[in-house]
Copies of this chain bind each other. A is one copy, B any other.
Amino acid sequence: MDYFPQLVAERPDIALCRASTAVARAAEQAAAANGVAVGSQLVLKMLAAVGPCSQQVLSQGLRVDRSMMVGIVDELEAAGWARRERDPADRRAYAVTITPSGRKVMTKSERTVPAFLDETFTALSAGERSQLTKLLGKLLLSE
């Protein structure tokens, strides 16, 4: 049951991976409780924020391979949460568009995020949590 202590103390890279798997599992569970997968939720969030865009733009913005974005948009379309419209300016690309029902689901599931974060990061105070967010942001933007 006990961690080999030097693992966490000496290897922030390993600690990052271990924390990630635990947190990802919790996120998937929390999203599933709203009937949405995490990937779909993020696509809806991005569509609502930036408006209709191509699968290419979605996959780059969310760091998901475009071949996986196909399946996510398939699911969104099947659920009636988004539509593939044609981009008149470039007929190779779709203009993926969020529907009113998609917006509703997105808003509803977004409301559960703070509680999920509170529970998942309960070991950290509010200050520590924003510290963590800031550090991870720095790390990611340097990639």
Contact = CB atoms under 8 A, between A and B. Distances in A.
Main secondary structure of the interface of A (DSSP, over half): helix
A137 interface: yes
A142 B123 contact: yes
B12 A136 contact: yes
Interface residues of A, number: 57
Contacts of A26: 13
Contact of A140 (B18, B61, B138): B18
Contacts of A12: 117, 121, 129, 132-133, 136
Interface in A1-45: 1-4, 6-24, 26-27, 38, 42, 45
B20 A140 contact: no
B16 A136 contact: yes
A62 interface: yes
Contacts of A21: 20
Given A123-B138, A124-B139, A138-B123, A14 B27 contact: yes
A143 B3 CA distance: 11
